Amino acid sequence: MKQWTSELLAVSRAGHDKDTVYVVLANDDTYVWLADGRRRLLASPKKKKWKHVQVIRHLPEEILAQMRSFELDAHVRKILSAYRSLQCSGGEDED
């Protein structure tokens, strides 16, 4: 089983999946491969152009720790669930 490592999330900005949050699995100069653990699994990630996604680079440490190594779709779902719950609660505290 392939072990992915990523420290980026992305929000789809175009297409039928607009506003869907994904984990970025891989990327090149033109495309990014995305998974959400439900409709788009690790075995069949969504290929989307960079211009159609907004990358979320600044994430809380608790989410980054989970993203450093994941192997199952359940791990991806847990990461995205944790991100959504932080968004609903107002995000991180400012120092």
- The 10s digit of each residue's pLDDT in 25-81 is 998 889 999 999 999 999 999 999 999 999 998 899 999 998 888 889 999 999 999
Tokens of 86: 């932080």
Is 59:67 a contact under the CB 8 Å cutoff? Answer: yes
Q: Note whether residue 38 is domain-resident.
A: yes
CA distance 65 to 60: 9
Q: Note whether residue 23 is domain-resident.
A: yes
Within 13 Å, how many C-alpha atoms sit on residue 57's CB side?
1
Is 33:47 a contact under the CB 8 Å cutoff? Answer: yes
CATH number at 48 reads: 2.30.30
The percent of the chain in helix, strand and coil, each rounded to the nearest 5, is: 25, 25, 45
Q: Note whether residue 21 is domain-resident.
A: yes
Q: Give the count of domains, the chain.
A: 1
* pLDDT at residue 86 greater than cutoff 70: yes
Range of the domain at 14: 9-88
Q: Note whether residue 4 is domain-resident.
A: no
pTM of the model: 0.85
